[in-house]
């Protein structure tokens, strides 16, 4: 697709996500890890303004104060408004932020139309993938905010129950061998997916589908959260200090479980993939099940062979759906739920961060986080690929994060 | 005034304060001590609904969820939405909260019209004084929120500089004697102002006006914040842990001071009373000045003899004005700035809290707080009286709190 | 008594308290509020060295590093080793600290022998009262440290059960009137007890003895800790955040209560005064009992009329004993347990702190604390008097703090 | 060596380390991560008692309370005395802990003499390696405690300056290839070193020696701690929140640097390896130097080819020494300083934790930590091997942790 068309599409998609929301909804920050929707709208524009437009002849900043206000974490750009205080910003208003978007759109499209140098085109393309990442965060951050409101508001009408039933999980066998992982092709990739490189992978088996709510509920009922031998030490400590007894958004009343969704409260459906679990919970569940989490190399070996199919944001469900029956390749590797891997987020051999401020995009976060793979029901379909590396700390639960089991070849 | 008329006036005054604000402005909570404007609008209605209307034949709650959502701290009513999470509530929307107000207004006015029992009338009257307290908090909480926004929004146009000049402070002498303090008359008072009772007051002197910015600036420039011998131990520790170097809302750039006001940033005016100081700062300033803070008994002796005149919210300035020259009585005892006293907030001899849930209104907070007297530029004129006891912890700075000096009779 | 004799006695008494302890026992700091015994031994010597000996011709400091190491909070003397890190100091060893004491003793006694100026004599006398305060802290801090050790060590053999039975409490009536409180006589007093001054006291009644364990247990069994209407707001919050369900050192097993004492674990004896309660608990108990805590003025009126008799440290029990039957005056006003008053610790009218560094002794702590009266089973008999004002924050529980009820005259 | 002889040697070595210390020195806990020396003495005995002796016919526990008191983190054994409260335990006394050691020694040696089953022998052997780990911790924890004491005590006399000079660093080249890492041989290894398995390692270069103080000082002087572009995001945040400006134990006065050592304060010697740096600092230094940290696979490839020579605890220096000139293999891979790798501490493919309680030894800590390799000047020589994996969180600085640079093959 033409870059200008892609630009228009991505920008419009972001705003479409905000259409059902009031200005007040767009202003809430419910925890330090989450940001207001309005902030996402502004920051994604800041990215283009600061990293593409700034310094171009004839470009005038929309508001010089925004340079600090909507800088997320770019130290090389300058100061940042403190992250925990993003929810304090009633001004600029939502209207003014939307006007900011228009201002930036005009300038970017004019630049594309005029024939920008390839370095600028590369940053515009990066900015679109960046904005798609924030589209997912708009949904997960909003879900968190709504979940903290006792009124339990719905972002949209509850999706009808997906028709399928989850099939019993099977183990798909992968042989040992020297493989290649990482991105190599023509299309876009982030710096953290490169370079493609060799890894030796021992023989392993991967579950045919993600863990379901029914399976996870068995773990809960088997006192999984009270058995330290199943947990990493840090994970068991987190259960204690935060009172975890089930995944985020699960609620029990009189023995019946329901969950909070972007369509409001809903009964727990046994066939859906479990989601909103931390890495600690995924790891403990796997140990309880006599299995383990896959490494990201294992996952990518499977992912390269699988069709890029699954439930994405375009479906409008905004909730994971039961996995279809799988043939040869594991099903639901893409979409529905991000899958925690056992791999720490670290540089690939030969990793080179982008130059300049963009070097801060990924590399400096390679500490204390774990890789997730495959995208979720809140991910745009065009955003994901087998080599895509998402990353969160092991205690993060507000993403659509689920569990795919693996085990050593028997 | 007729109670129904008073009700209409007070309720309208609250909403008039919110007129210049957007829904986003009304939703912000910038710290745990402060609440969103929207919350104030709802909670003051909750007060009437829960303590007057609930249980009346024919009254239907506007929304049963509001009973928890807008309960501030009444344990006898039931659960409360957690105070630090008031800013998370994008729903109910501002519009819906205003509809809630209408719903409650209709029912209260119908009750008054129908001839309510005197116990109900008493609670309605209390509810109006309660709402006036929240009117002041609307302004101080909003001022705090706006101050945390680097755009430094203005709530309204900056007031023109008040004309007067502060006169040099003089000491007004009060003789020793057995006095009475506390409320005794016909009009309304809170339970914490009662009963009127005898106290013996030694001879003392009270400053003719509050401390000015110019005087406080001398303290700052004399390294007041870096001299532990001037401070209570807890106060000096607070300076260290919070980085206090001047009152809240003061900013220095290149040696020039400006302050944040509800009209935006403004130059520091030397003749205005200093405000937004903690009790610790007031106490340290007094020690530096060779004086002390008055006790609340001393203050009330002076206040009973003084005219109830000063700058109140009705003036629209929303900022303290220079004190007029005083004749016999100290000037500016009322309005402009609350005056920290040296007295811990404690029950008067013979204190009896109101019955039922209203017993939680004042008595349970008689711990860890100090009394302030006289009202401020954000206080409704009809709300204040000589026996009025306001109270805040010694580190609170976001109220319009200033300093009146006292000393033992020489 | 001669000051040199008094000096020898007090110094010896401190060391006698440490006799049953190992060097390891003397080094432990079990919480920030408590200090190691060794630190008390050193700091009380630091007091004499720094405030009396330093600068005298011919006096050489024992170790210049001690000036910082054993400075408690005297900003005017200079830096202090951080309070929470007192337990890290394995060096100087206990032996060396005892040598430090000898070094200081020689110099002080030489000074007294040579005829010191009266200003120095005053500071020596103050230093002895200061050391007596630390004698009490040696016992309470050690009790806390031992209580945190699952072995529950005993400081000494458990005292035999005191013979008496607590009589039913009666109300002793005191008439209204203008009284005087504060210290006025010839003997020693702290600056915070002065000047003697007039107060008007309304008629009140005071309980004939402190609250017993049996009475407090009734409160516990009546769900006292789970009824917010009985508590100050801060107090109820403290119960929640700290898990308070009974006084400090109480333990329940299978419905039977025992308590930790300086003689190890012991069964709860119903007739003994309750102790190790916070001000919050004392206040809640009083409200439950339909009473209140006395003000310090009320207490002092009663204390001036009562014999200075009770259980003090010299008895060696180190635990409160049942109150004897009382005649006209309330019994057990002195000794056994400190009695929480309702009065914030504040300066008396006309209060003047001592000059120089000694001005930091009391005045700067007049914030956030409440007055206790009467001394405890860990107080030296000669240390207490009717005007004596002890003070602790409302959540402090590790002192021998108990409850005396009062009420308005009916 | 015979296991009984090894047992006697290791146990004696632990006690020899404590010989210069007083009971007070042995009781201090200076931070949550560190433990008192006395605790180490007891816990290492607890290991044998609980995991070898308990349940043997005729074995009587020395003191049943020790089962909880000296349990470090074995949830399957039962409760643990809280880690941050280890310093509160003045009892049992050091003497009693030494008697505990004797009691355990007699029983273990009797068991070995009687011919124990091989499963028990395996645990005894593990217990000796466990005890050697605690020998290192005795020194590093004590160093930390002494460093917090303003008297800066010395554990022993300062070692004479090591004679050598550090040679300029060179890059040693390693070719790409499929390698094996992990332990495979006959001797002892921990479960986390197994199984030996294949990894593909890209071509890389490794520095001929660890980074020196001189080199690190250049980084400090080049404003390394104030340049966010050099740091992982978490690392730069740690610099800010903890005020890091140099390695732990470095002190600057008037431009001259000195360091705290187990021999007291000493001038910074430029040729010694830098140590007491966190992973964050090691990583930032590497980036500043245009290099990176090695992965643990890279390190192990080099380590397998290098002689197991270096400065160990047996030398008595207790401080890293300048690296000798290297020939073909990198020098100082073993001893002197632990070398941070870029690898998260994670299970090897096919990892199986030991059975029973011993399964808690290593596996449950595979989260949030990074691998260090090679041992230090506080490590017993017989304890280390090429496959040895030590692990600490990225902000840990109190170990003898240093930096070995690597880079991609050019």
Residue B12 Cα distances to B98, B102, B157, C373, D193, angstroms: 11, 11, 21, 52, 74
A89 contacts in B (CB within 8 Å)?
A: 149, 151
**Minimal Cα–Cα distance from A6 to chain B, Å?**
32
Residues 6 or more apart whose Cβ sits within 8 Å of residue A363: A191, A192, A347, A351, A353
Secondary structure (3-state) at C340: strand
Closest-CA residue in chain D for A407? D350
Which of C74, C80, C233 is most worth mutating to test chain B (most B CB atoms within 10 A of its CB)? C233
User: Is the per-residue pLDDT at B410 higher than 80?
Assistant: no
Kindly state whether B68 is in contact with chain A, defined as any CB-CB distance less than 8 angstroms: yes
Residue D266 phi/psi, 5-degree rounding, is -145, 155
Cα A53 to chain centroid distance, Å, stands at 27
Average pLDDT (D187-206) is 97
Q: What is the pLDDT of residues B304-349, one digit of tens each?
A: 999 999 999 999 999 999 999 877 889 999 999 999 999 999 999 9
Q: What is the pLDDT of residues B266-282, one digit of tens each?
A: 999 999 999 999 999 99
Among D197, D229, D231, the residue with its CB nearest the CB of A202 is D197
Kindly state whether C199 is in contact with chain B, defined as any CB-CB distance less than 8 angstroms: yes
Q: What is the pLDDT of residues A40-57, one digit of tens each?
A: 999 999 999 999 999 899
**Minimal Cα–Cα distance from D277 to chain C, Å?**
23
CA A9 to CA A105: how far, in whole Å? 12
Which of D90, D93, D144 is most worth mutating to test chain C (most C CB atoms within 10 A of its CB)? D90
B200 contacts in C (CB within 8 Å)?
A: 178, 198-200
Among C199, C342, C368, the residue with its CB nearest the CB of B368 is C368
Kindly state whether B98 is in contact with chain A, defined as any CB-CB distance less than 8 angstroms: no
**Minimal Cα–Cα distance from A92 to chain B, Å?**
8
pLDDT of residue C9: 98
Q: What is the pLDDT of residues D94-103, one digit of tens each?
A: 999 999 999 9
User: For every one of its 410 residues, what pLDDT tens digit does chain C have, with 9 covering 90 and above?
Assistant: 699 999 999 999 999 999 999 999 999 999 999 999 999 999 999 999 999 999 899 999 999 999 999 999 999 999 999 999 999 999 999 999 999 999 999 999 999 999 889 999 999 999 999 999 999 999 999 999 999 999 999 999 877 777 778 899 999 999 999 999 999 888 999 999 999 999 999 999 999 999 999 999 999 999 999 999 999 999 999 999 999 999 999 999 999 999 999 999 999 999 999 999 999 999 999 999 999 999 999 999 999 999 999 999 999 999 999 999 877 889 999 999 999 999 999 999 999 999 999 999 999 999 999 999 999 999 999 999 999 999 999 999 999 999 999 999 97
**Minimal Cα–Cα distance from A242 to chain D, Å?**
18
Q: A118-147 and A94-114 are packed helices; what angle lies between their axes, rounded to 10 degrees?
A: 160
Q: Are there at least 3 beta-carbon pairs closer than 8 Å between D and B?
A: no
Average pLDDT (D282-297) is 98
Among C23, C85, C150, the residue with its CB nearest the CB of D23 is C23
pLDDT of residue B329: 84
pLDDT of residue D107: 98
C283 contacts in B (CB within 8 Å)?
A: 367
Q: How confident is the model at residue B176 (pLDDT cuts 50, 70, 90)?
A: very high
CB D97 within 8 A of CB D41: yes
Establish whether the linkage from the previous residue to B75 is cis, with ω within 30° of 0: no
CB A405 within 8 A of CB A289: yes
Would you say the C-alpha torsion C357, C363, C364, C370 has a positive or negative sign?
A: positive
ipTM above 0.85, yes or no: yes
pLDDT of residue D323: 94
The pTM of this model reads: 0.97
Residue D46 Cα distances to C199, D26, D37, D115, D257, angstroms: 64, 17, 14, 21, 42
CA D210 to CA D212: how far, in whole Å? 6
CA D282 to CA D207: how far, in whole Å? 14
Q: What is the pLDDT of residues B195-249, one digit of tens each?
A: 999 999 999 999 999 999 999 999 999 999 999 999 999 999 999 999 999 999 9
Among B29, B89, B151, the residue with its CB nearest the CB of A149 is B89
Buried b (16+ CB within 10 A) or exposed e, C369-401: bbbbbbbbbbbbbbbbbbbbbbbbbbbbbbbbb
Q: What is the pLDDT of residues A68-81, one digit of tens each?
A: 999 999 999 999 99
Kindly state whether D356 is in contact with chain A, defined as any CB-CB distance less than 8 angstroms: no
Kindly state whether B342 is in contact with chain C, defined as any CB-CB distance less than 8 angstroms: yes
Kindly state whether B89 is in contact with chain A, defined as any CB-CB distance less than 8 angstroms: yes
Q: Do A73 and D233 touch (CB under 8 A)?
A: yes
Kindly state whether C176 is in contact with chain D, defined as any CB-CB distance less than 8 angstroms: no
Taking Cα atoms as reference points, which of B399, A241, A295 lies closest to residue D366? A295
Which of D62, D86, D91, D265 is most worth mutating to test chain C (most C CB atoms within 10 A of its CB)? D91
Radius of gyration of chain B (CA): 21
Closest-CA residue in chain B for A79? B150
Which of D21, D24, D145 is most worth mutating to test chain C (most C CB atoms within 10 A of its CB)? D24
Q: What is the pLDDT of residues A199-256, one digit of tens each?
A: 999 999 999 999 999 999 999 999 999 999 999 999 999 999 999 999 999 999 999 9
Token output for C408: 């308005």
Average pLDDT (D348-352) is 96
Cα C280 to chain centroid distance, Å, stands at 17
Token output for C85: 């890190």
Q: Are there at least 3 beta-carbon pairs closer than 8 Å between C and B?
A: yes
Mean pLDDT of chain A: 96
Token output for C208: 């004939």
Q: C37-48 and C118-147 are packed helices; what angle lies between their axes, rounded to 10 degrees?
A: 170
Cα D388 to chain centroid distance, Å, stands at 11
Kindly state whether B195 is in contact with chain C, defined as any CB-CB distance less than 8 angstroms: no
Q: Do D149 and C90 touch (CB under 8 A)?
A: yes
Beta bridge partners of C251: C258
CA C353 to CA C234: how far, in whole Å? 31
CA B341 to CA B338: how far, in whole Å? 9
Kindly state whether B368 is in contact with chain C, defined as any CB-CB distance less than 8 angstroms: yes
**Minimal Cα–Cα distance from A389 to chain D, Å?**
17
Q: Do A232 and D408 touch (CB under 8 A)?
A: no
pLDDT of residue C327: 74
C407 contacts in B (CB within 8 Å)?
A: none
Q: Do D200 and A198 touch (CB under 8 A)?
A: yes
Count of other CB atoms within 10 angstroms of residue B163: 8
Q: How confident is the model at residue D1 (pLDDT cuts 50, 70, 90)?
A: low
Q: Do C150 and D69 touch (CB under 8 A)?
A: yes
Average pLDDT (A173-193) is 95
Which of A88, A100, A260 is most worth mutating to test chain B (most B CB atoms within 10 A of its CB)? A88
Buried b (16+ CB within 10 A) or exposed e, B251-288: eeeeeebebbbbbbebebbebbbbbbbbbbbbbbbbbb
DSSP state for residue A327 in the 8-state scheme: S
pLDDT of residue B1: 67
pLDDT of residue B381: 97
D197 contacts in A (CB within 8 Å)?
A: 202
Q: Are there at least 3 beta-carbon pairs closer than 8 Å between A and C?
A: no
Mean pLDDT of chain B: 96
DSSP string, D125-187: HHHHHHHHHHHHHHHHHHHHHHHTSTT---SSPPPPPP---PPPP-EEEE--EEEEES--SSS
D234 contacts in A (CB within 8 Å)?
A: 367-368
DSSP state for residue B51 in the 8-state scheme: I
Secondary structure (3-state) at C118: helix
Kindly state whether C270 is in contact with chain B, defined as any CB-CB distance less than 8 angstroms: no
Q: How confident is the model at residue A1 (pLDDT cuts 50, 70, 90)?
A: low
Q: What is the pLDDT of residues D30-66, one digit of tens each?
A: 999 999 999 999 999 999 999 999 989 999 999 999 9
CB A302 within 8 A of CB A326: no
CB B330 within 8 A of CB B306: yes
**Minimal Cα–Cα distance from D311 to chain A, Å?**
31
Average pLDDT (D240-264) is 97
């Amino acid at each position: 697709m033409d870059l200008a068309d892609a630009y228009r599409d991505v920008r419009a998609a972001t705003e479409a996500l905000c259409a059902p929301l009031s200005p007040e909804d767009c202003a809430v920050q419910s925890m330090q890890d989450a940001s207001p929707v309005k902030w996402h709208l502004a920051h994604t524009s800041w990215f283009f303004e600061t990293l593409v437009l700034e310094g171009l002849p004839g470009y005038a900043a929309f508001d010089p104060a925004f340079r600090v206000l909507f800088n997320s974490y770019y130290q090389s750009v300058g100061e940042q408004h403190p992250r925990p205080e993003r929810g304090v910003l009633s001004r600029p208003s939502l209207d003014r932020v939307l006007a900011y978007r228009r201002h930036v759109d005009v300038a970017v499209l004019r630049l594309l139309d005029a024939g920008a140098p390839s370095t600028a085109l590369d940053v515009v393309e990066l900015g679109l993938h960046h904005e798609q990442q924030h589209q997912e965060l708009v949904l997960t951050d909003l879900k968190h905010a709504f979940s903290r409101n006792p009124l339990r508001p719905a972002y949209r009408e509850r999706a009808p129950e997906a028709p399928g039933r989850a099939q019993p999980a099977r183990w798909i066998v992968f042989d040992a061998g020297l493989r290649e992982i990482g991105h190599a092709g023509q299309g876009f990739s982030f710096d953290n997916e490169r370079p493609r490189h060799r890894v030796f992978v021992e023989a392993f088996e991967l579950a045919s589908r993600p863990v379901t709510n029914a399976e996870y509920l068995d773990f809960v009922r088997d006192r999984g959260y009270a058995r330290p031998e199943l947990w990493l030490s840090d994970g068991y400590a987190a259960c204690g200090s935060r009172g975890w007894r089930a995944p985020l958004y699960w609620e029990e009343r009189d023995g019946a479980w329901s969950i909070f969704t972007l369509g409001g409260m809903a009964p727990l459906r046994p066939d859906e993939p479990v989601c909103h679990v931390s890495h600690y919970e995924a790891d403990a569940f796997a140990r309880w099940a006599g299995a383990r989490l896959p490494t990201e190399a294992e996952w990518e070996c499977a992912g390269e062979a699988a069709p890029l199919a699954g439930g994405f944001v375009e479906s409008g469900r905004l909730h994971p759906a039961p996995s279809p029956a799988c043939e040869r390749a594991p099903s639901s590797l893409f979409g529905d739920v991000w899958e925690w891997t056992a791999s720490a987020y670290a540089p690939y051999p030969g990793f080179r961060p982008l130059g300049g401020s963009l070097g801060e995009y990924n590399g400096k976060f390679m500490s204390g986080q774990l890789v997730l793979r495959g995208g979720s029901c809140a991910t745009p379909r065009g955003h994901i690929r087998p080599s895509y590396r998402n990353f969160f700390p092991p205690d993060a639960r507000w993403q659509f994060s689920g569990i795919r089991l693996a085990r050593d070849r028997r």
